[in-house]
């Protein structure tokens, strides 16, 4: 018997400003794997990610997390699901009134940890995991883009989640910082055995972190398979995306 997907998205439809962004989008995500969702900018990748933790409600379709249909859940009902999921937002979405350490400690405190020593130890361990030791007292405004993403990742994993969602983790970063973020995503999977969904249009990142790849095109999953299958595909839509070719003339 085939294993049940950890997350199963079925026939998702979403419309924003009169434009249909997702048109029957279906995608299974298996437990423990890193799935990379590729697609063009503005194609609905981030919109899809936001549906997984109820930040957006679909017009139709279903989202199942560990077999539980969360589509119609209220904000309060979603809290239990959200405790299992960590999300790394594109710009980090760090709380700008808090220091780095306070940002990372936030989920611990909100989940009832009152012992200051325990909080400090976990914060230090997690910041070390993302190579951010020594930046505890900085404010988010004083961090570079890559550092913000590392702190956002630390905040997402400090209270260990079962799933991590990455929204464009390497967007706007130089190749070296991008590489360190990619290695970090891999390390999270090895050390924490989490299921990861990475939304990106960065092929280098995709090849580095993916166990499985899906390509979003025209609101639907156009391709779903392994990295090798993606590389070997001769489909023109896939090749254009993978090779970074537009159909515009010079």
Partner 1 sequence: MNLLLALGAAFQAFCTYLGQLGELASETVRSVFAGRVRLGLTLQQISHIGFGSQMVVIVTGMFTGAVFTAQTFFQFARLNMESAVGPVISVAMCRELGPVLTGLMVAGRVGAAMSAELGTMKVTQQIDALRALAVHPVDYLVVPRALAMLVSVPLLVGECIFFGILASYLVATQVLGVGSSYFLMNMYKFTEAEDIFMGVIKGFIFAVIIVLISCREGLHARDGAVGVGRATTEAVVICSLAVLISNFFLTMFLNIFFPAGV
Instruction: Enumerate binding residues for partner 1 (CB under 8 A).
Output: 50, 53-55, 75-76, 78-80, 82-83, 85-87, 89-91, 93-96, 106-107, 110-111, 155
| Least CB distance to partner 1 at residue 62 (A) | 20
| Least CB distance to partner 1 at residue 111 (A) | 8
Tokens read off for 173? 């970063």
* Nearest by Cα to 58 from 102, 23, 98, 83: 23
CA distance 137 to 150: 15
- For partner 1, the closer CB: 74 or 246: 74
| Least CB distance to partner 1 at residue 103 (A) | 9
CA distance 243 to 72: 39
- For partner 1, the closer CB: 140 or 219: 140
- For partner 1, the closer CB: 42 or 95: 95
* Nearest by Cα to 7 from 43, 38, 37: 37
- For partner 1, the closer CB: 96 or 229: 96
CA distance 205 to 76: 35
* Nearest by Cα to 211 from 37, 39, 34: 34
Q: What are the strands of the beta sheet with 19-29, ordered from one edge? A: 19-29, 7-16, 60-65, 68-69
| Least CB distance to partner 1 at residue 218 (A) | 26
- For partner 1, the closer CB: 17 or 67: 17
């Amino acid at each position: 018997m085939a294993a049940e997907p950890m997350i199963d998205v079925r026939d998702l439809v979403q419309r924003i400003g009169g434009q249909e962004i997702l048109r029957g989008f279906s995608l299974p995500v298996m437990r423990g794997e890193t799935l990379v969702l590729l697609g063009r900018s503005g194609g609905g990748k981030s919109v899809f990610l936001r549906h997984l933790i109820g930040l957006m409600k679909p017009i139709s379709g279903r989202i199942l997390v560990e077999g539980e249909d969360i589509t119609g859940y209220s904000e309060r009902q979603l809290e239990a699901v959200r405790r299992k999921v960590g999300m790394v937002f594109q710009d980090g979405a760090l709380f700008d009134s808090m220091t780095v350490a306070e940002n990372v400690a936030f989920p611990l405190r909100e989940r009832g940890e009152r012992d200051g020593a325990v909080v400090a130890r976990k914060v230090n361990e997690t910041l070390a995991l993302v190579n951010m030791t020594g930046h505890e007292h900085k404010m988010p405004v004083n961090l570079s883009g890559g550092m913000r993403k590392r702190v956002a990742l630390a905040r997402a994993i400090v209270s260990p989640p079962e799933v991590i969602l990455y929204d464009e983790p390497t967007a706007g970063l130089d190749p070296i910082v991008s590489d360190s973020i990619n290695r970090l995503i891999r390390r999270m999977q090895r050390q924490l055995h989490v299921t990861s969904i990475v939304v990106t249009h960065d092929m280098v990142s995709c090849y580095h972190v993916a166990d499985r790849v899906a390509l979003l095109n025209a609101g639907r999953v156009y391709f779903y398979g392994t990295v090798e299958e993606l590389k070997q595909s001769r489909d023109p839509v896939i090749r254009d995306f993978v090779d970074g070719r537009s159909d515009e003339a010079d």
